Structure 1
Amino acid sequence: MKKYAILMCCMGNICRSPTAEGVLRAKLEAAGLADLVELDSAGTHDYHVGRAPDARSQRHALRRGYDLSALRARQVVVADFSRFDLVLAMDQANLSALHALHADAGADKLRLLMSFATQHNAEEVPDPYYGEGDGFERVLDYIEDACDGVIEMLRKRLT
């Protein structure tokens, strides 16, 4: 059986999308769904290809039990649109960049991660890169909420 495949996307793939990958991976394990889902993250730009997630992202994530240290940034490629069933963007700018890369990808494939959130009334996961520490905590709060919604969607779809 083919695994359901999800790709998390932000701009550089060093803050938000690797955090989302790490959080969702842990939540998939806890929900007993890890064997049914393929998961990855990528950036819409090539700024940090091959680099580990931002040290601040790693530090804040680790405080909540998410280890991002093995992840490495990569850029989205056109083949990702056939490989992944769901491509989740962290914000509208990256969603637009993904649509520009693959104009035929519809709303069933390309969505904002926060469209799955139930506790936070935010459309986007804000970019914490140029901010201070509390931005990274907000990112984790939003991503944990949205990933809970992704888990609920996957439970309905896969079980």
Structure 2
Amino acid sequence: MMSNLLTVCLGNYCRSPFAQLALARRGGPRMSVRSTGLISKWQDQPAHSAMINAARRLGYDLTAHRAQQITVDMLDWADSVLAMDASVLTTLRAVGGPENENKLRLYLGDRDVPDPMGQDDAAFNECAVLIEAGTALHIGGRFT
């Protein structure tokens, strides 16, 4: 059975685009993964250069990504909507309505993926490693 996952962060500029790639790789052909952001500040822009570099270090190519803002159609499409942090989850609950409540959750289950924006390359690298490890929560295996 095909599963549709939607990863969401604030701007679709750092965390959710990388989560999309990591989940798609781990999930393989039985999974369709998209990413989006709550705001349109980086609409149609590539991912943050530090996240592109962090992804490259882990063997992913994030250069084709272009940011997009969430739509109701995206929520309807998704079987699961994975928020990168609690503030994103709170906003998703407000805009998603009760019909989407059962599909909303935090990407790491009970904790946030820290936003690396405004920090150094090490923060982006740590963020990418955390996101990649977190794929186990959604596609077999265990998160350690």
TM-score by length of 2: 0.91
Coordinate RMSD, CA, aligned: 1.4
- SS in structure 2 of the partner of residue 152 of structure 1: coil
Aligned to 1:93: 87
Amino acid aligned to 1:35: P
| Alignment match, 2:122 | 134
Deviation at 1:93, TM superposition (A): 0.7
> Which one of the candidate residues 137, 140, 144 is aligned to 1:152?
140
Contact map agreement 2:8 2:38 (CA 8 A) in 1: yes
Correspondence 1:22-101 to 2 at 5 A:
22-28=21-27, 34-101=28-95
Matched residues, number: 140
- Give 1:103 deviation, angstroms: 2.1
- TM-score (normalizing by structure 1): 0.83
Question: SS at the partner of 1:98?
Answer: helix
The percentage of counterpart residues that share the same residue type is: 32
The runs of at least 4 consecutive aligned structure 1 residues that moved more than 3 Å come to none
Gaps of 5+ in 2: none
SS of equivalent residue, structure 2 residue 12: coil
Query: Secondary structure of the residue that 2:138 maps to in structure 1?
Result: helix
Match of 1:15 in 2: 14
1:43 deviates by 0.2
